[in-house]
Amino acid sequence: MPELAYLAPSSPEEAARALASAGSRPLSGGTDLLVQLRAGRVKPDVIVDLKKIAGAVGVREENGGFVIGAATSGAVLGEHAGLVRAWPGIVEGANLIGSTQVQGRASLGGNLCNGSPAADGVPALIAARATCVIVGPNGRREVPVESIVTGPGKTSLVQGEFVLEFRLPARPARASDAYLRLIPRTEMDIAVAGVGVNLVLDAGGVVTHAHVAIGAVAPTALLVASAGAALVGGKLDDARLAAMEAAVRAACKPISDKRGTAEYRTKIAGVLSRRAALIAYDRAGA
Amino acid sequence: MSKIHITTTVNGDPAEFLASPGMTLLDALRDELGLTGAKEGCGSGDCGACSVMLDGRLVCSCLVLAPEVEGCRVETIEGMAQGGQLHPLQQKFLEHAALQCGFCTPGLLVAAKALLDAHPDPTEVEARYWLAGNLCRCTGYDKIIRAVMDAAADLRQERTA
Ligand SMILES: Cc1cc2nc3c(=O)[nH]c(=O)nc-3n(C[C@H](O)[C@H](O)[C@H](O)COP(=O)(O)OP(=O)(O)OC[C@H]3O[C@@H](n4cnc5c(N)ncnc54)[C@H](O)[C@@H]3O)c2cc1C
Ligand code: FES
Ligand code: FES
């Protein structure tokens, strides 16, 4: 076995340099990476722990919006009252990941970059129109969350790049979000389908902005622009909800496996989108 | 193989050991520090038998690399009883017969203590969700939950007394 090295850089630039070699891998909470390492599915020769980098762990407010360090654990996100108030859907997606033990470690950066189509933290981030700040050998770039994962286990990050943080837009009054998933039991399972919905309302309860993202029903999580558009311009009446559901189902390209057939996943994605929209609407204070 | 020298605090006492970079915290505790309370049930984060506290957070020690704990606080089942005095959770596990083979017990006790430290008055549903990452093949969980709820009640009383 080739020798493994462990590095814990304290600056983003140092981390990017450490990640420049082909056999290197970033480490956040390790709840995916350690499992893969131990199963022999990945064989890095350098592990670069991101948790000592200032900014990679923790939540802060900047220009009226929240910035989430990519390696921040789910437990920390769940304890951040301001973030929970502004983005309850993002936090509930992150907090659905695994057990209490897993929550002590699992991060949104790892959830995204692991590239699972069923990653629970991702749809609500996409619906929030969150961006990733990526640090790499050529400096920094900021891209939408949905541009990172290109297929199961695959990302658009190049050697040396990692996600430093997620940036969330400033939140107007009367705005909220929700994430729902379906699993075959009540805890500790992988989503059959997951939906994040993010809404902004005007004073009269009319939806002015809506974004819908779906997970576990295609090779990557998807932003369904037509589903969001179906909700804009009125209150959440039946016709709008039905149009959104139809748009969600049309966007699904699921596989059939032991957790559900393609037909079931498609049907469920629609049902979850309706329920999540109603929860987000309610939370937004309509 | 180049080993890393790790300095940490285990159950309140300074501890040092040598670890290869790929070694897990679980293996370091068991093989380097002789603390064999934390068990390896699965090695993949599913069973919770390896549960320990890391800087005040409940984690699976099988999913932590030993070098990650440099400068951190680690608490294990070995630190739960104070002197010869069992922790109320340990006492209640005995009284309620909340164990059979005992393989899951250290992990469950550490996880249950984390629950009661954070939420002294959990509902049964909250306790069951909190402990959902700790698998037990023997008891069927009911006795474990009864022991945890009973210990919680005792601890609350102790606090107000
Ligand atoms: C028992 C158990 C239950 C689970 N349940 C769920 C669940 O219900 N839902 C779910 O979605 N997931 C689940 N998971 C999977 C896992 O916990 C999550 O995907 C978690 O969010 C991964 O985050 P992490 O910080 O632990 O990532 P890590 O394991 O540290 O990293 C994951 C991958 O991303 C890379 N990476 C990490 N951080 C970055 C970064 N900042 N930039 C670039 N690349 C990076 C790593 O190199 C690695 O390839 C579960 C895992 C376990 C063990
Ligand atoms: S051995 Fe760590 S969770 Fe099973
Ligand atoms: S007592 Fe045997 S696994 Fe729990």
Residue numbers in B near A188 (CB within 8 A)? 46, 132-133
CA distances from A133 to A48, A53, A162 (A): 18, 14, 9
Q: Is B4 on the interface with A (CB under 8 A)?
A: yes
Dihedral angle at the C-alpha atoms of B55, B149, A103, B18, nearest 10 degrees?
40
A53, A146: one domain: yes
Q: Show the domain range for A99.
A: 1-116+131-168
* Dihedral (CA of B75, B77, B83, B86) sign: positive
A38, A110: one domain: yes
Minimal CA separation from A11 to chain B, in Å: 17
Would you call B60 and A37 a contact, using CB atoms and an 8 Å cutoff?
Answer: no
Is A215 part of any domain? yes
* pLDDT on residue A130: 98
* pLDDT on residue A13: 96
A64, A135: one domain: yes
Q: A272 Cβ partners below 8 Å, 6+ apart? A: A180, A181, A182, A193, A194, A195
Q: What is the CA radius of gyration of chain B?
A: 16
Question: Which run of H or E residues covers position A20?
Answer: none
* pLDDT on residue A286: 59
Segments in B10-161 forming alpha helices (H): 25-27, 88-95, 105-118, 124-130, 142-160
A161, A195: one domain: no
For residue A122, the SS3 value is helix
A122 in Cβ contact with A221 (< 8 Å) = yes
A151, A83: one domain: yes
A3, A97: one domain: yes
A163, A279: one domain: no
Residue numbers in B near A104 (CB within 8 A)? 54, 57-59
CATH number at residue A60: 3.30.465.10
Is A147 part of any domain? yes
Biggest CA pair distance of chain A: 65
Beta bridge partners of A166: A68, A132
Q: What interface predicted TM-score (ipTM) does this complex get?
A: 0.96
A157, A180: one domain: no
Lookup: tokens for B43: 């090695």
Q: A100 Cβ partners below 8 Å, 6+ apart? A: A75, B58, B111, B114, B115, B130, B131, B132, B133
Minimal CA separation from A121 to chain B, in Å: 18
Is A121 part of any domain? no
What is the residue-level pLDDT of chain A in tens, covering all 286 positions? 457 999 999 999 999 999 999 999 999 999 999 999 999 999 999 999 999 998 999 999 998 899 999 999 999 999 999 999 999 999 999 999 999 999 999 999 999 999 999 999 999 999 999 999 999 999 999 999 999 999 999 999 999 999 999 999 999 999 999 999 999 877 777 899 999 999 999 999 999 999 999 999 999 999 999 999 999 999 999 999 999 999 999 999 999 988 889 999 999 999 999 999 999 999 999 5
Mind listing the domains of chain B with CATH numbers? 4-79 (3.10.20.30), 88-160 (1.10.150.120)
Smallest Cα–Cα separation from A229: which of A253, A205, A247?
Answer: A247
Would you call A101 and B70 a contact, using CB atoms and an 8 Å cutoff?
Answer: no
Is A158 part of any domain? yes
Lookup: tokens for A129: 């129109």
Residue indicated by tokens 């819908």: A212
Is A97 part of any domain? yes
Residue numbers in B near A27 (CB within 8 A)? 65
Is A180 part of any domain? yes
Lookup: tokens for B58: 């409940």
In this prediction, residues B115-137 reach a mean pLDDT of 97
What is the residue-wise DSSP string for B85-123?
A: B--HHHHHHHHTT--SS-SSHHHHHHHHHHHHHH-SS--
Question: Using one digit for the tens of pLDDT, what is the confidence trace for A206-237?
Answer: 999 999 999 999 999 999 999 999 999 999 99
Distance (Å, whole) CA A100 – CA A45: 30
CATH number at residue A188: 3.30.390.50
Residue where one domain finishes, among candidates A108, A141, A168: A168
Those of residues 121-150 in B touching chain A at CB distance below 8 A are 129-134
A39, A141: one domain: yes
Is A124 part of any domain? no
Q: Is B24 on the interface with A (CB under 8 A)?
A: yes
A163, A281: one domain: no
Question: Using one digit for the tens of pLDDT, what is the confidence trace for A35-74?
Answer: 999 999 999 999 999 999 989 999 999 988 999 999 999 9
In this prediction, residues B58-86 reach a mean pLDDT of 97
Is A122 part of any domain? no
A246, A269: one domain: yes
At residue B101, does pLDDT exceed 80? yes
Would you call B21 and A4 a contact, using CB atoms and an 8 Å cutoff?
Answer: yes
User: How many domains is chain A built from?
Assistant: 2
A192, A267: one domain: yes
pTM above 0.95, yes or no: yes
